């Protein structure tokens, strides 16, 4: 029987920890910034005698409709809370960063430049270190964007604390602090993780150590329903970050979710619609001036302010060129980020002090760039006939005064000396073709490109979405400036297309990118150009490497089960990858044997075999889960003899006794203390065994079994023999058995073919996606 997960041994930190762990335990992955054990989720419903009795007792229509209504009520609550959290994110960031920029600008206005730099750099360092310290010492799982962890969970991988209340609080506080510190990081990813935490906690009935805290929420008691809630929560996070309800649903569908169905689509869309209503209500409240410095900034609504967007056939070549450049730069971005993260891993594994030192160094370097580089730009005279104030002092705007004299502005400071939201808005603004010089845009592009790479991976909540949008907008506007009179498109429109190309080049999204940018710019006329750019960019980038989130999932060691099947799997049967020994139980098993197997293995499913005198020959009765065995041992449901129990199980147990605990919470066999007399007793496993587990014949191809395993969202797949003369079960397939590392270790002769296949897949991945 195989272990439930695999780890990428190319990561030194994971490999080091994996060598120290017994083969009988769960495998490891990097969750946030902490190495944790992981296991698979149970999306399959165990059909046993106890469950059937419970269903018969609850078969009334009132309870069914109550269960249905509860799901919609939970989606409504998730939407309301996600909207409030999204608003709080932006309100806090705009006010904290705004105060920092106002104080610094006032000092520069008084020609106290060294003091201004000291205040700017010190405030950035304090905010960065606050985010790093609370993350490193309180909730390491909150580090990073959280999107790889959510993607792994929706794929069926569970890890401790990824959705805990502690992670939720640190994610919010750390992200606000990190983004306000002028680090080149975004808030969209952490916001998605935050709303996913909210959804998961609601599905558990609140923050409770092992069981749902609220009894009225116990009907959401299986991994499948909780997965659906987390899916809705993830969509709500993107909707809250960009005010893009449809884009949020499509992002989860295109980039995160491994399984989808129409009913889930409706609930996810309803959730994101609620988010939009809540945000709109809160934004209207802020128009009265009661939200401090929070005004036009934040809750990004990048309006390309031209009343109409016109384009002609002559504009198509630069748009195509923009898509090609986006694919090349996006794939290079992923490559460099992978190398930087592996370097950071070597530093972070040395301890918390090194993690904090790394965060401090990046913060100081970033402050030097943001404050120092604008001095390289020359001051420009304020243009005439504009509605916006010029120069702007201490607030958002296209015309930052910085060190310039009156009636002049520093265009590079307008980009560097701003929040990421405001900088993107400046680049997207229509009618500002002469606001920035080519030199300033080029310098800002190079700086933002590499700052986005080195800023991610610190021990702090940080996202990739906003830096990618910003960098894409920069080189998009640069290409528009280089085209000059050869194109009729506005430079702000080129910036929007640049963001689309870079998002598609790094994250490989097409549909969701197009919709999110349309909702951001509030202009449907951009759709054809955005679609062309996104498709070209993704096609080009797929020729070089994989998308950024799959790269992060692999780097963290999550054994993601992909939709596609590698061709080499067609050369193998399931019998070729099943490994021994297989642990099995009798229908009536001795307590001591159960305890011994649970202590010496990390398996989560065990075949139950009936042997004579209970049957004429050994037959497969079903599959029993470790979690259910632990409940039986805790309840001490023991028999004095090895005879089937005649006791009505519904009188001793209820379905609530077997409700799975919260995400990442696991009961341990070591917590159960039994006497020597109890160890000699027996347990009748028949009433608690899933009598209809999925099975495949040992001669089935591994490729066909992979499709079955993925499409039905299984955790265990029993392998039965072709001939009845053998034992009724020859092995169990788990997620680990489909991982390339495991298969190629068992069959090294496939290694050469595997490498050739990978090269071929890179050049044909786009074609497979659209087929």
Q: For 25-34, 124-133, 434-443, 600-609, which range has the lowest pLDDT when averaged over its residues?
A: 25-34
Q: Helix H segments across 591-739?
A: 591-600, 626-635, 649-652, 676-679, 702-711
* pLDDT value for 760: 41
Per-position DSSP letters for 3-54, written without gaps between them: -S----TTSHHHHHHHHTS-TTS--EEEETTEEEE-EE---S----HHHHHH
Has residue 572 got a pLDDT over 60? Answer: yes
- Across 47-76, average pLDDT: 76
CB 398 within 8 A of CB 414: yes
Share of the chain above pLDDT 90, in %: 41
Residue pLDDT, tens place only, 655-714: 667 776 655 566 788 888 888 888 989 888 888 899 889 999 999 999 999 999 998 889
Per-position DSSP letters for 706-767, written without gaps between them: HHHHHHTT-S-EEEE-SSTTS-S--EEE-GGGGSHHHHHHH-GGGHHHHHHHHHHHHHHHHH
- Across 461-485, average pLDDT: 92
Residue pLDDT, tens place only, 246-277: 999 999 999 898 888 888 999 999 999 999 99
CA–CA separation, 260 and 719 (whole Å): 27
203 Cβ neighbours under 8 A, 6+ residues apart: 74, 217, 220, 225, 226, 229, 230
Which is higher by pLDDT, 451 or 29?
451
Residue pLDDT, tens place only, 351-369: 899 999 999 999 999 999 9
- Across 283-303, average pLDDT: 63
* pLDDT value for 249: 94
Tally of CB atoms within 10 A around 350? 11
Has residue 537 got a pLDDT over 90? Answer: yes
Which is higher by pLDDT, 456 or 52?
456
Q: Which of 343, 334, 278, 156 is nearest to 738 (CA)?
A: 156
Per-position DSSP letters for 290-323, written without gaps between them: -STT-SSSSS-------S-----GGGHHHHHHHH
Whole-number mean pLDDT of the chain? Answer: 83
Which is higher by pLDDT, 294 or 552?
552
Q: For 489-493, 741-745, 751-755, which range has the lowest pLDDT when averaged over its residues?
A: 751-755
CB 27 within 8 A of CB 5: yes
- Across 134-153, average pLDDT: 93
Residue pLDDT, tens place only, 315-333: 888 899 999 999 999 999 9
Has residue 542 got a pLDDT over 50? Answer: yes
* pLDDT value for 15: 42
CB 556 within 8 A of CB 30: yes
What's the whole-model pTM score? 0.88
Residue pLDDT, tens place only, 491-508: 888 999 999 999 999 999
* pLDDT value for 644: 67
Helix, strand, or coil (residue 418)? coil
* pLDDT value for 672: 86
* pLDDT value for 13: 42
Has residue 290 got a pLDDT over 80? Answer: no
* pLDDT value for 216: 52
CA–CA separation, 74 and 274 (whole Å): 12
Q: How confident is the model at residue 431 (pLDDT cuts 50, 70, 90)?
A: confident
Residue 192 DSSP symbol: H
- Across 376-384, average pLDDT: 84
Per-position DSSP letters for 59-81, written without gaps between them: --HHHHHHHHHHHHHHHHHHHHH
* pLDDT value for 24: 35
- Across 469-496, average pLDDT: 89
């Amino acid at each position: 029987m195989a272990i439930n997960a695999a780890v990428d041994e190319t990561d030194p930190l994971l490999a080091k920890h994996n060598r120290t762990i017994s083969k009988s335990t769960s495998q490891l992955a990097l969750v946030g910034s902490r190495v944790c054990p992981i296991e698979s989720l149970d999306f399959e419903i165990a059909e046993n005698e106890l469950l059937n009795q419970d269903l018969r007792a609850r078969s009334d229509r009132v309870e069914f409709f109550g269960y249905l209504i509860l799901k919609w009520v939970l989606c409504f609550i998730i939407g309301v809370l996600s909207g409030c959290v999204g608003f709080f994110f932006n309100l806090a960031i705009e006010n904290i960063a705004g105060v920092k920029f106002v104080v610094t600008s006032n000092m520069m206005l008084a020609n106290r430049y060294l003091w201004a730099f000291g205040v700017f750099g010190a405030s950035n360092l304090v905010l960065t270190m606050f985010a790093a310290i609370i993350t490193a010492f309180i909730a390491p799982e909150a580090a990073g964007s959280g999107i790889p962890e959510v993607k792994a969970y929706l794929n069926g991988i569970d890890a401790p604390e990824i959705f805990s209340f502690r992670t939720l609080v640190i994610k919010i506080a750390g992200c606000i602090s990190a983004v306000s510190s002028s680090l080149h990081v975004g808030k969209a990813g952490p916001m998605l993780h935050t709303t996913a935490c909210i959804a998961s906690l609601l599905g558990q009935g609140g923050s409770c150590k092992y069981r749902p805290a609220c009894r009225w929420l116990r009907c959401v008691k299986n991994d499948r329903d909780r997965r659906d809630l987390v899916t809705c929560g993830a969509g709500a996070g993107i909707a809250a970050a960009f005010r893009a309800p449809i884009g949020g649903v499509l992002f989860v569908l295109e980039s995160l979710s491994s399984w989808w169905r129409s009913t889930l689509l409706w609930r996810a869309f309803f959730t994101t619609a609620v988010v939009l209503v809540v945000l709109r209500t809160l934004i209207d409240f802020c128009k009265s001036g009661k939200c401090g410095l929070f005004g036009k900034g934040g809750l990004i609504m990048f309006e390309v302010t031209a009343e109409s967007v016109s384009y002609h056939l002559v504009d198509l070549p630069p748009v195509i060129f923009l898509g090609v450049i986006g694919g090349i730069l996006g794939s290079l971005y992923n490559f460099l980020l992978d190398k930087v993260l592996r370097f950071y891993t070597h530093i972070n594994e040395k301890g918390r002090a090194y993690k904090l030192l790394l965060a401090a160094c990046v913060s100081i370097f970033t402050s030097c760039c943001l404050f120092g580089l604008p001095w390289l730009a020359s001051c420009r005279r304020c243009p005439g006939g504009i509605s916006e104030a010029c120069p702007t002092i201490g607030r958002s705007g296209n015309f930052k005064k910085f060190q310039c004299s009156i009636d002049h502005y520093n265009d590079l400071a307008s980009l560097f000396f701003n929040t990421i939201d405001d900088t993107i808005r400046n680049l997207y603004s229509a009618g500002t073709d002469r606001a920035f010089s080519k030199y300033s845009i080029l310098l800002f592009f190079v700086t933002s490109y590499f700052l986005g790479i080195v800023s991610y991976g610190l021990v702090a909540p940080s996202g990739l979405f906003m830096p990618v949008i910003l960098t894409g907008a920069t080189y998009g506007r640069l290409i528009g400036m280089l085209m000059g009179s050869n194109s009729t498109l506005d430079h702000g429109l080129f910036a929007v297309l640049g963001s689309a190309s870079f998002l598609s080049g790094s994250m490989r999204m097409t549909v969701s990118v197009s919709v999110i940018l349309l909702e951001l710019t509030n202009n449907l006329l951009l759709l054809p150009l955005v679609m062309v750019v996104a498709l070209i960019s993704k096609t080009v980038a797929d020729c070089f490497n994989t998308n950024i989130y799959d790269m992060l999932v692999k780097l963290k060691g999550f054994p993601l089960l992909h939709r596609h099947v590698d061709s080499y799997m067609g050369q193998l049967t399931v019998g070729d990858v099943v490994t021994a020994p297989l642990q099995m139980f009798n229908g009536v098993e001795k307590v001591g044997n159960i305890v011994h197997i649970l202590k010496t293995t990390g398996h989560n499913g065990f075949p139950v075999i009936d042997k004579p005198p209970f049957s004429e020959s050994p037959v497969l009765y079903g599959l029993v889960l470790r979690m259910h065995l632990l409940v039986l041992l805790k309840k001490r449901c023991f028999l004095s003899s090895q005879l089937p129990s005649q006791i009505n199980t519904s009188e001793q147990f209820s379905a609530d006794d077997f409700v799975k605990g919260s995400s990442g919470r696991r009961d341990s066999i070591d917590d159960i203390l039994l006497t020597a007399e109890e160890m000699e007793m027996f347990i009748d496993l028949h009433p608690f065994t899933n009598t209809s587990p999925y099975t495949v014949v040992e001669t089935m191809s591994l490729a066909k079994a992979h499709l079955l395993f993925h499409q039905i969202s299984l955790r265990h797949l029993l392998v039965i023999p072709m001939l009845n003369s053998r034992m009724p079960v020859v092995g169990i397939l788990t997620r680990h058995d489909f991982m390339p590392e495991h298969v190629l270790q068992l069959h090294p002769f496939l290694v050469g073919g595997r490498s050739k296949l990978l090269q071929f897949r890179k050049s044909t991945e786009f074609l497979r996606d659209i087929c």
